[in-house]
Amino acid sequence: MQKKTFRRGIHPLHSAHEGKTSTRNLEIRDYVSDTVIISMAMNIGAPAKPVVKKGDQVLVGQVIGEAQGFMSVPVHASVSGEVLAVEQIPSLGAGPQMAVTIKNDFADNWVELHPLGSVEHVDPAKVIPAIQAAGITGMGGASFPTHVKLTFGNGKTCDTIIVNGAECETHLTADYRLMLENSTRIVDGLRAVMRALNVNNGVIAIEDNKMEAVAAMQKAVQGREGVRVQVMRTKYPQGGEKQLIEAITGRQVPSGGLPIDVHAVVLNVGTCAAIADAVIDGKPLISRITTVTGAVRKPANLRLRIGTITEDIIGECGGYAETPGKIFFGGAMTGMCLPNDQMPIFKSTNGIVVFNEKESKSKDESPCIHCGRCVAACPIGLNPYQIKVAADKSDFEAAKKLHVMDCILCGSCAYMCPSRRWLTPSFKFAKDHIAAEAKAKQAAAKGGEQK
Amino acid sequence: MTILYAGLLLGALGIIFGGVLTFASKKFHVEVDERVGKVRECLGGANCGACGYPGCDGFAAAVVKGEAPINGCAPAGEKGVKAIAAIMGQEVATSEKMVARVLCQGENGIAKERYAYDGYQSCATAAGLAGGPKDCRFACLGLGDCMDKCAFGAISMKDGIAHVDPEKCTACGACVKACPRSVLKLLPLSSNVIVRCRNSDVARVARAVCMDACIGCGRCKKECQYEAITVEGGFARINPDKCTRCGACAAVCPCKCITID
């Protein structure tokens, strides 16, 4: 079979098997902790509103946070037990967030579930509301509400659904293990979405460093209508939405556009499995698979309840092997750094990577030597070295003209830079600033209308 | 001989072009109000944009047209405004000189550190990462977004917080806009008794994150004979119009967050 890929890109940790060796052969284990802290702001868009109070008894799968509007999903209790607190905790972003702390009684009493039945016979109109009710967000890292992705306006059509099993991030093996151990569920989820959107072309994309997963998925798609497995060349960021679409369909998502503009929808394998759980069993999203690796004694692939505290997870993995320097949610390329190990995991936490003190030391920048390696690496085709100059001068108009808003913050340019320039952080700085400015402008325009 | 030809040719060309330029400058002369140039000279000259016009030239033209107020340029200062008033033949009520004040004393070691930040050196970016590297959500982050924006070199960073030099500060307000935490505020230069904290959390939380936090205890309010102090939203504020700069509040403050410059 011909292997497909996108233009440019990089090979991070290529000589070390992308840092995946320590966990790729470990089976997924279950781990349930004593206490969970479930954040109400786990999706992009409006955070959920807590509907339980201190002292309440909750069941597994019970709604504890109600969705606020369309761009929001409900939050469910991931364990049964008593609500210890409903309070604000620090978030990974700017402000605090609401969170519900539940003490686990280990009884695992579930709420009454309403399964919709087999994916091949379910009423297609019921699938997308079920996805929202189950609180499913993109589980590859971006946590975009899945039902929003699957609902598009008039005139837009979808002809391809791509399941993202590329897992191009370094260190992570959660999706790989899921594809090996739960391949049928992924295909079920894909079929449910295909029937809901009336699409006949489903592609499961897997990088060629995971041939065992390719074999498992190929076995699972046998006899299923319109589904095929596509082997991709191992390259970062193969699992980027825009990169996958370019590689598989040959279409480029326009600047500022969405995948649906080129008639494609991309879903993570974890999201597909969660959709299957929601449709077949009626179960909401209460657990996810997370790779714990790096400077821990026993790296593992764990099935964790949403809201499990990082410290407990590290304890389950034998504790720190060395003094930790940095802890990330996600892989080393795009992960978010944690302020401390008291942070609970979110629906989008696909990995916890611990760096020791030596690894986490940032290196000083040197001047740009205009070698152009960043340009050769950028999967979008931007000029990172020019954008960096504009962003560092806070010249956001110039950065905008250089299309900084199309940057996907993959970090390929910074990885390749021989001068170790901090390219990606300055792009994030510029993007955040431009987005905040646009938001302020929008709010001002709205205020003007009301007057 | 060749050098002579070249010299003659260039000389002739110079005379011809000179003639053309002289003709063009007379023919296409645009009437410019001479006051624009004069007003321009009185301004701060930093093109800071605080007035809302495109640079100092834009503001000068707007003043002469009567669109902009003559005291619209903060960097020009009192002297500049008076000079502009003289040029424009207007009277201007002298306003008090303002200065940007840093309402935080959370130096390294005083404000509790949440995590060691060694990322991109910008307050806005640091503030967006798990609520910032200092535990106090109102603290000055000390990475210098205001310093970068200051066109007059009035701001310096010391021990993890910003310091404003009142001599150099022209109250243009660029730093106030740049600060993601709203730590800077424009206050009259003469009002030198300042509450250097804006932490609106309850006392227990505020004290836990910073040794110098205002806990809103209200002792300063009781001590003040001129009713210049209000305690609202968890921290004290001083009304510069009522304050007589007696300093009685600073003497009783248990947290040492009222300072006299």
- pLDDT for residue A451: 44
Q: Which residues of A touch B175 (CB under 8 A)?
A: none
Residue ranges matching CATH 3.30.70.20 in chain B:
96-190, 191-261
Q: Do A90 and B120 touch (CB under 8 A)?
A: no
Q: Do B130 and A91 touch (CB under 8 A)?
A: yes
* Residues A295 and A191 grouped into a single domain: yes
Q: Which residues of B touch A425 (CB under 8 A)?
A: 119-120, 125
Residue A367 domain-assigned (yes or no): no
CATH code, B191-261: 3.30.70.20
Our measurement of the distance from residue B155's CA atom to the centroid of its chain's CA atoms, rounded to an integer in Å, reads 9
pLDDT tens-place string over residues A162-219: 999 988 888 999 999 999 999 999 999 999 999 998 888 999 999 988 899 999 999 9
Q: Do A425 and B119 touch (CB under 8 A)?
A: yes
Q: Do B130 and A428 touch (CB under 8 A)?
A: no
Q: Which residue of B has its CA nearest to A365?
A: B120
- Identify each DSSP E strand in chain B by its residue range: 98-102, 155-158, 161-164, 184-188, 193-195, 229-232, 235-238, 258-260
Here the CATH number for the domain that contains residue A67 is 2.40.50
* Residues A27 and A39 grouped into a single domain: no
Output the DSSP codes for A362-411.
PPPP-------HHHHH-SS---HHHHHHHHHTT-HHHHHHTTGGG-----
pLDDT tens-place string over residues A405-426: 999 999 999 999 999 999 998 9
Can you tell me the ipTM of this complex? 0.74
Here the CATH number for the domain that contains residue A321 is 3.40.50.11540
* Residues A325 and A429 grouped into a single domain: no
pLDDT tens-place string over residues A294-348: 889 999 999 999 999 999 999 999 989 888 888 989 888 888 888 888 889 999 8
CATH code, B96-190: 3.30.70.20
B12 — phi, psi (to 5°)?
A: -60, -45
* Residues A125 and A21 grouped into a single domain: yes
Q: Share the mean pLDDT of chain A.
A: 89
Our measurement of the distance from residue A325's CA atom to the centroid of its chain's CA atoms, rounded to an integer in Å, reads 24
Residues of chain B with pLDDT under 50: none
Residue among B101, B112, B235 nearest B162 (CA): B101
Last residue of some domain: A45, A75, A103? A103
- A357 at B interface, C-beta within 8 A: no
Structural domain tally of chain A?
3
Q: What domain range is A259 assigned to? A: 1-31+115-361
Residue A109 domain-assigned (yes or no): no
User: Is the model's pTM score more than 0.95?
Assistant: no
* Residues A351 and A274 grouped into a single domain: yes
CATH architecture, domain defined by B34-88: Orthogonal Bundle (1.10)
* Residues A211 and A331 grouped into a single domain: yes
Q: Which helix (H) or strand (E) is A271 found in, with range?
A: helix A269-276
Residue among B103, B110, B137 nearest B123 (CA): B137
CA distances from B75 to B38, B91, B124, B170 (A): 16, 19, 25, 4
In whole angstroms, give the CA distance from residue A233 to residue A7.
11
pLDDT tens-place string over residues A121-155: 888 888 898 999 999 998 887 788 998 888 887 78
Dmax (CA) of chain B: 97
